[in-house]
Amino acid sequence: MDALEKGAATSVPAPRGRPSRGRPPKLQRSRGAGRGLEKPPHLAALVLARGGSKGIPLKNIKRLAGVPLIGWVLRAALDAGVFQSVWVSTDHDEIENVAKQFGAQVHRRSSETSKDSSTSLDAIVEFLNYHNEVDIVGNIQATSPCLHPTDLQKVAEMIREEGYDSVFSVVRRHQFRWSEIQKGVREVTEPLNLNPAKRPRRQDWDGELYENGSFYFAKRHLIEMGYLQGGKMAYYEMRAEHSVDIDVDIDWPIAEQRVLRFGYFGKEKLKEIKLLVCNIDGCLTNGHIYVSGDQKEIISYDVKDAIGISLLKKSGIEVRLISERACSKQTLSALKLDCKAEVSVSDKLAIVDEWRKEMGLCWKEVAYLGNEVSDEECLKRAGLSAVPADACSGAQKAVGYICKCNGGRGAIREFAEHIFLLIEKVNNSCQK
């Protein structure tokens, strides 16, 4: 199961929570309120993504495992199928472009709600002020890349079907807490949640629930009163491996490994890759061509990429090369990669499709590494696609993974490692 148990409801006479700083602008009632059952309540997903992150510049669109950070939660929200609309609230043009690329609508946040001192509630209040149609807000944190659609589906059901006014995400932790002692004060620390004389084993202790910040769902009337948590409340417990929050740069490598293993990669099930097709110029090489005095063509490639190709072949993945340029046979032979290659190709999609049929594969079993406009159709069709960091913008928009390495500088090896991790994910899912 992707989702764990939901928490017991707590009904309180008045909402509790942290109000926004200052008095929020007056909100109008949602259209259709009080008109009976004309329409189901409008549930909007809202991701807040300022451009001015103090910790990591433009953190919200920094690449995490080849995908802009905000892209992971947008994919989950859109695929959940429970939101009437999915929005990103931002003050930055680049974040707006990425949000639209993933299929979200954009609310341009004002300078007043984009300050370091602005709260999430301030930004949500502003959003609602412009969207009378919204009855419920699902505030999803951009920094939670392991969020899955199933989590959002369960919470939407709790709000719509079970009558909760607010639901927020938590994670279970097994951590013993002790009282803090101020420097210079002669006191002894005290245990807060354990008896040191009878320390429980992990398996004998249920642990404690902590907010993990992945999402906060609240009905409009609560937000109008200045609260995100209150009324008839419930928590939703997420799996520990799905609870990832990006706060500082040191978390980034850890989060990448976590998201590759436990992240959500889309509606269609992953298939094991059987064929990798790689563009020669700009992927295997850096695109530079040198000509010797006797007019012979000279190109270079990175030994790391040759090792990557070798590892792929040893794991049973066929590797083939393609180029629209007329690469000489002597040059390809000198590379000593032992890969079938097709050059002077005017229609790459036709060639790759022919190779796919020849091997009896579906497109989901094909991986493609390209870098040019001529690669876009193959990148869109392949089950797994990637581009080097220096690929053209059109190719970048067509893929699911953008390498950190440039073409001819380790991109193939990096993509190979990504493929191996996904194969491991496929194998693990088959064993469950």
Q: DSSP assignment of 192-229, as one string?
A: SS--GGGPPPGGG---EEEEEEEEEEEEHHHHHTT-SS
> What is the DSSP-derived secondary structure letter of residue 234?
E
What is the spatial distance between Cα 178 and Cα 198, in angstroms, rounded to a whole number? 15
What is the spatial distance between Cα 14 and Cα 63, in angstroms, rounded to a whole number? 42
Q: Is-contact 387 369, C-beta < 8 A?
A: yes
Residue in the block written with tokens 């290659």:
341
- Two tokens at 214? 């992945």
Q: Is 357 exposed, middle or buried (0-12, 13-18, 19+ CB in 10 A)?
A: exposed
Catalytic pick from 29, 108, 199, 325?
199
Q: CB under 8 Å to 235, separation ≥6 — which residues?
A: 6, 7, 167, 168, 169, 170, 209
199 among known catalytic residues: yes
229, amino acid identity: Q
Residues catalogued as catalytic: 199
